[in-house]
Chain A
Amino acid sequence: DADVTQTPRNRITKTGKRIMLECSQTKGHDRMYWYRQDPGLGLRLIYYSFDVKDINKGEISDGYSVSRQAQAKFSLSLESAIPNQTALYFCATSVGASGGLGDTQYFGPGTRLTVL
């Protein structure tokens, strides 16, 4: 079974609709992240959470909100979807940097969202 799962895997919706993307992990990691990936722009951080009570904005948080329901669950909401939010969304987890080893990201399989 995958360590990081995302639902749904694909979603087509209309402008103005509220959408929730869900992420669950069995890795036991405290840190969770939401990214979006667009052609030519790479992965960009939307929100991140270092534990259940900690939520932080990333570089492109406008138009999005998140909820960390438990250590293992981190959901991303688009309150009123717009076409330029069409993208591939990834959830990721990490254990946190230690000893200069870096903060390796473990990604879920992604959610392909299309906003018409």
Chain B
Amino acid sequence: RKEVEQDPGPFNVPEGATVAFNCTYSNSASQSFFWYRQDCRKEPKLLMSVYSSGNEDGRFTAQLNRASQYISLLIRDSKLSDSATYLCVVQRLTGGGNKLTFGTGTQLKVEL
């Protein structure tokens, strides 16, 4: 089983729609959680961290469920510019320091 799993998509949604992505992680010792955004052929960039109480940044809401070991990202009022791949990232402490594990990403296509 992969340490971090995501539905690869693509999710094709009309502009203005609300879309949600889930990500599951297998290691209960995971401590920190993030969503990164990666545009086609570009580098990943941090979108937002995910806090235990849930957090919101404009149209984006991230939730963490430690009991079920999943993270979610909700995008409201989708824009064409939201089209990208969204990477779920999980961090845990190991003997060698912090270890980041990246999911393979969920592709979002927002259409007119």
Contact = CB atoms under 8 A, between A and B. Distances in A.
B71 to A, nearest CB: 13
Contacts of A44: 102
Given A42-B103, A42-B105, A101-B49, A50 B97 contact: yes
B32 A43 contact: no
Interface residues of B, number: 23
A102 B34 CA distance: 9
Interface in B46-82: 46, 49
Contacts of B102: 42-44
A43 B46 contact: no
Interface string B92-112: 000011101011110000000
Contacts, number: 49
B42 A43 contact: no
A100 B32 contact: yes
Nearest to B32: A102
- Secondary structure of the B contact surface, majority rule: strand
Interface residues of A, number: 20
Interface of A: 40-45, 50, 56, 90, 97, 100-105, 107-110
Given A43-B44, A45-B100, A105-B100, 8 more contacts: A41-B104, A43-B102, A97-B91, A102-B32, A102-B49, A103-B98, A104-B34, A109-B43
Interface of B: 4, 8, 31-32, 34, 36, 41-46, 49, 87, 91, 96-98, 100, 102-105
The 10 closest A-B pairs by CB, nearest first: A107-B43, A42-B104, A43-B102, A102-B32, A42-B102, A103-B98, A104-B46, A97-B98, A107-B44, A109-B43
